[in-house]
Amino acid sequence: AQKVTQAQTEISVVEKEDVTLDCVYETRDTTYYLFWYKQPPSGELVFLIRRNSFDEQNEISGRYSWNFQKSTSSFNFTITASQVVDSAVYFCALSEVNTGNQFYFGTGTSLTVIP
């Protein structure tokens, strides 16, 4: 079973629209971390954010915001006023303290922002 599910394979939006990328995770650990990474067309994954399981506060960074809800095991990512430079594949990931070393990545959501 997938530990991290990103149900949206591809999303296209017109520039300046808001877009939300969904991430649902599965874990039995009480202590875990959630991450979002961006993989632009150049190929290198870039770290965006990390949240720990004890901090459900939503976070905003510029046009990016993240909504962490333990009740629904979701860690959704919203881009406000999207720009062409936001076009990339976005990955959600989970790491479990008791599992040790592995990071579990979702299959990614490919976002295309149309000018």
Partner 1 sequence: GAGVSQSPSNKVTEKGKDVELRCDPISGHTALYWYRQSLGQGLEFLIYFQGNSAPDKSGLPSDRFSAERTGGSVSTLTIQRTQQEDSAVYLCASSSRGSTYNEQFFGPGTRLTVL
Query: Least CB distance from residue 45 to partner 1, whole Å?
Result: 4
How far, in Å, CA of 51 to CA of 88, rounded? 21
Query: Least CB distance from residue 11 to partner 1, whole Å?
Result: 15
Query: Least CB distance from residue 32 to partner 1, whole Å?
Result: 8
Query: Which spans of this chain sit near partner 1 (rule: CB under 8 A)?
Result: 4, 6, 9, 32-33, 35, 37, 42-47, 50, 52, 91, 93, 95-97, 99-108
DSSP 40-79: -TT---EEEEEEETT----EEETTEEEEEEGGGTEEEEEE
